[in-house]
Amino acid sequence: MNPRRLLTAVLTVALLAAALIVPATGSAYVVGLADQSPALFGNSSWRALHPKRTRLITAYDSIFKDRTNLAKWLTAARAAHQEVVVAFNPPATMKCPNLKGAKGCTPVSTSRYASAFKAFHKKYPWVTIVQPWNEVNNLTQPTVHHPEALVGYYLTVKKYCPSCTVLGADLQDLPNFSSYTTQLLKDFKARNVRVPQLWGMHNYTDTNRFVPDATSTMRKAVKLLPGKIWLTETGGLFRFQPQGGRQTFRPDLTRQKKAMQAVFTQATRYRSKIDRVYFYNWFAPAPSNRFDAAVLDITGQPRPEYSILTRYKAAFR
């Protein structure tokens, strides 16, 4: 072969290989599907979409206290050839906001967090995408009044897994989004570290309340957050009741389907900023559960919103 042609062929192969391992950028956002049950990976409706990415929410210390369930889920995900994002949550004994008889809703110390993360990373070194803490600006989290704690968790993950992709924060589109994010960015700068260029966001409010783009939290996020955004948890709500509150969203399949489409509409509108979208959850919980954004109903059959996922099947690449 002509040496010049050979060099061109080698470079082409190299570029193609790089494209397979570098996260999607620009207009090419990709989609993942998540559920807390390892049964997800054997579900026929899930398999029909050929997803390649998923996400697990687990207590930061589950490597010590819930090893069996953690292992079941991660083993099943790996067997299904899934790329996993892990998001750490409070321990099961911590209830936020503070409730009678529960342990105090205060941030976990950086040293305790480091001990747990090192053990997790040693056991599962192949999990290389980490959200140091889940839904940091939600009242159900100990970080809601302590964004500085998140900086410590972020730096801990970066220290013990330098090759990991670490998201700066996992934020929700709640009323405190702007004030919390502004303070969090200040806290990062105060530690004299490079401000993260990758962020997680949950846009349930924008897309389930059909908030106009002009007043959407996503629009604020695009202006406030440097770098890229992953919609790490999103979906159409079938039913939702805030903790200790009245039912905000009563069961409604039509609204849920409309909200699912709204997620894709928003992701497409901000496709230069949004790299990934992870839908949650897959299996319908018990009717008594206050949160239900499941794609399947209680009998295991796809709800109407499943048709939206099939419409965007090409994004599951």
Half-sphere exposure of 98 (CA within 13 A, CB side): 8
Residue 37 lies in a domain: yes
User: Which residues does residue 198 pair with via DSSP β-bridges, in sequence order?
Assistant: 228
Mean pLDDT, the chain, whole residue set:
90
- How far apart are the C-alpha atoms of 174 and 180, rounded to whole Å? 10
Residue 221 lies in a domain: yes
Count: domains in the chain: 1
pTM of this prediction? 0.88
Residue 13 lies in a domain: no
Residue 2 lies in a domain: no
Residue 281 lies in a domain: yes
- How far apart are the C-alpha atoms of 294 and 235, rounded to whole Å? 8
Residue 9 lies in a domain: no
Residue with tokens 């060099």: 7
- How far apart are the C-alpha atoms of 87 and 29, rounded to whole Å? 20
Residue 5 lies in a domain: no
The string of pLDDT tens digits covering residues 271-311 is 999 999 999 999 999 988 889 999 999 999 999 999 999 99
The string of pLDDT tens digits covering residues 160-179 is 999 999 999 999 999 999 99
The parent domain of residue 40 ranges over: 24-315
* CATH (domain of 236): 3.20.20.80
User: In terms of Cα–Cα distance, which of 24, 4, 5 is closest to 272?
Assistant: 24
Residue with tokens 């966001």: 201
What residues have CB less than 8 Å from 213, skipping those under 6 apart? Answer: 219, 266, 269
Residue 154 lies in a domain: yes
The string of pLDDT tens digits covering residues 3-44 is 455 444 434 433 333 333 333 333 479 999 999 999 999 999
